[in-house]
Structure 1
Amino acid sequence: ITDFTVRAGAAVESATLLGGIVDARKLQLKMEVHESDAGLVRRGQNVYFSVASETGKLKASVSRIATGLSESSRTLQVFADIESTRPLLVNRMVECELIISSDSVPAVPDEALIKGDAGYQVLILDKKTNGTYYFKKSDVLIGRQMNGFVEIKGAPIEGDLLVKGVYPLQ
């Protein structure tokens, strides 16, 4: 039950709305997409969204797209079905990322990179002797960055890469 529009004991007519009932498992995400991006929206696209007071992102997929723009805001209304089973509150403000395309590219966690004077480097396992690990630096070209990962351009990295606890070596 989301709200009551009458008080207990009040006389009501048969057409009076008494309150609202919502199935929290079937909520939809309502987004407004600017007209310059409206042509990029398609049914079935993934949407990742977060609620300001909660951690982590939730997933949804575009299910319905309005047929026209709002005259006042010049935006297109887009609706997405939420794929979460956890209960959400109705009419909350969210921040959305609408995925318009995706690539499969080699990437490493951003904490695996060492920023040097001449660019970026990663540490690759050179050898392991009696429980001691030896690493060598390898220069890399970086590309796009998103959600804690960095695209690695150029030749693929060969060997085992140190991805956590990286610091510059002398």
Structure 2
Amino acid sequence: MLEKERARKLIIAGVAVTVLAAGGYGTYKYMNPKQAPTASHSSHQTGAPSAIVGDKVTLDAKARQLAGVQTAKVEKKALTKNIRTTGKVAVNETGKAYLTSRIMGRIDELYVNADGAYVAPGQALAAVYSTDYIAAQEEYILALETVQKLKNISPEMNQTNAKLLQAARRKLDLLGVSSGEIEHLEHTRQSNRQMIIRAQFGGTVTEKLAVAGAYVMAGEKLFGVTDLSTVWLYADVYERDIASIQLGQEVAVTTPAYPGQTFSGMISFISPIIDDATRTTKVRVELSNPDGKLKPNMFASAAIKSSLNESLVIPTSSLIDTGLRKIVFIAQDESTFVKRDVVIGQESNGFIQVLSGLNSGDVVVTKAAFLIDSQTQLGAYGSHAGHGSGKSGGGTPQQTVPANAPQSAPPAQTNVNSGHSGH
């Protein structure tokens, strides 16, 4: 029993000593904190090919050579924008018209029988049997005979008969009878059974409505004709190019049907509506077509040149478009590059307008701008993830080392049970 009691006391004493020792060590660690060994940042500063502070990137000569960094000066320049698009030839709507009959009757003969035929002004279209026409001729013949028979009765009667004759001639004229046919009727005093309907104007027949043997009413359409000496081209211009076009602008048009030949036109209309599916607007180009080479429904290509006002320009390769920001990198010196936001205008021939954000004479990066931007992104990531709070024990900001820099020794593991985690 005594030996068991002595052993029990020894165990209790040992435990007490261990607890006291652990408490003393913990108190010592608490009063004298030490950081776990970390990689020396001085090695980063001396051996790293790049350094990033905010939006500023510094690259040594070797890094610039490997990246192929190139620069160019910002300058003022007047650009010429070339807009190329396609379209379809259409008839000139102002040149479309219908040839109609001025009398009621039956079509006995048709002198124009097919679409596509050219009709000259005054050309005979059809012969129509009409009782109205016959009655108008006989009325005119009767007026002629009355004037001749009663010309010596009295001045008042002569004046009345002259008015009747004038009214009868006017009636024939309104029915579309030519002056030559009226003179022939006056000479022969024989009425014609058929009236010849003639074209009031010329053009190409695009619609044939008349049929031989059919009865027509006064004012009924016989033929649809179109003047194809001028045609329209409807071209699709993308939404981004609308600001570069205007009424009266010259357009060069080419077609596969006539290789090497260019037709000159002019913008006569710009649609106020954007097509929701294609994001384009219709532009109408008026083209002279004296030889009839340009035919409706023919496909064609159009080239529009637009002169832009003089402004600051940079190469398009300088711009980084993130969707939310437009960014360029300014070269402060041979090795230092700074990110800058800009507002851009229109693009043409490898250059893009800069409306604000740059000054004339600034030097921008034209090649490897994306690589420099990636360095700033890596710097932002490393300052938060690679160094915890982003500060060393002294509270100074740390530089970021790229992935290809030599790696330092990993930090030593700390006792997670000490109650205070180390860096």
Taking structure 1 as the reference length, what is the TM-score of the superposition? 0.49
More helix by share: 2
| Larger RCO, structure (CA 8 Å, separation 6 or more) | 2
More strand by share: 1
